Structure 1
Amino acid sequence: MQKWIMSGLFFAACAFAVILMFTLPGKEQVAEQNNPTLPVVQLDTAKAEATVKANCITCHGDQLQGGIGPSLQNEGSGNDAEGIFSIVTKGRGQMPSFKDKLAPEEIANVAMWLSEKK
């Protein structure tokens, strides 16, 4: 009886290991999540402003003066476009990640727009 139980547990462990091998992210995926790369986009100020109004003013204020979140009026003096893209994509502190809400191109456009605010 113990042989059947042990062989069943061994089979279940092997099946679980195979499932994990195919579902866990690889090194490349983990590296991409930790260091998202800024896609190449042409800055569209009107779209960036519309995206900010739809997603950012609740926390950062309608003039980006700050509120729940910090002021973004001079964000470009402290961060470049890649740094801003990484923050918006991954989130930081109380700021949530927007990678599931906005397309990478939208985030890149906003990051480029904010990086010019110095």
Structure 2
Amino acid sequence: MHKWIMATLLGVAGLLAVYLLTFNLPEKEEHVAEEQFTVPDTPVDAATAEAFYKSNCMGCHGDQYQGAMGPALANIGSLRSKEEIYKTVLKGKSGGMPSFEGKITEEELINLTNWLAEMK
């Protein structure tokens, strides 16, 4: 009797799988490539960027950019592109890096990005 119950359950599971594959799969979504963004090369206002760093970033990345809770930024410019730095600051990262979207102007973000990218 045990074999009949297992065979019935397996048959029902198979029929359910066929039904779901035939009728209920969601429409295939096309992957839309993200727009390519290039951080413009602008003169860096180091004092403004450093002031922003001290008030918003130093707690996690350290006073000497050595890292603490967050990664070291002392040579971030040789590890990441300007676009990667820009996106990370703007959107944040899971695991603790906050998003600064809406908290920083585009000019401030570009200035900070270029300042960090110079750290090599």
Q: Name the TM-score class by shorter chain.
A: 0.5 to 0.7
Equivalent-residue separation in structure 1 for 2:88 and 2:36 (angstroms): 10
Measured after TM superposition, the shift of residue 40 of structure 1 is 6.0
1:72 aligned partner: 73
For 1:65-104, list aligned pairs within 5 A: 65-93=66-94, 94-104=96-106
Q: Specify every segment of 5 or more residues in structure 2 that has no aligned partner in the other structure, as ranges.
A: 1-31
TM-score (norm 2): 0.63
Deviations 1:37-88 (A, max 9, x none): 6356431111111111111001111111111101000100111222111110
- The 2-side partners of 1:34 and 1:98 are apart by 20
**2:41·2:114 contact (CA, 8 Å) conserved in 1?**
no
How many percent identity over aligned positions?
46
More helix by share: 1
Following the alignment from structure 1 to structure 2, what is the Cα–Cα distance between the partners of residues 116 and 76? 6
Q: Secondary structure at the match of 1:38?
A: coil
Q: Which residue of 2 aligns with 1:42?
A: 43
Q: Work out the number of aligned pairs and report it.
A: 87
In the other structure, the counterpart of 1:9 is none
Report the TM-score, using the length of structure 1 for normalisation. Answer: 0.64
Preserved CA contact (<8 Å) 1:39 1:105: no
- 1:112 aligned partner, one-letter code: N
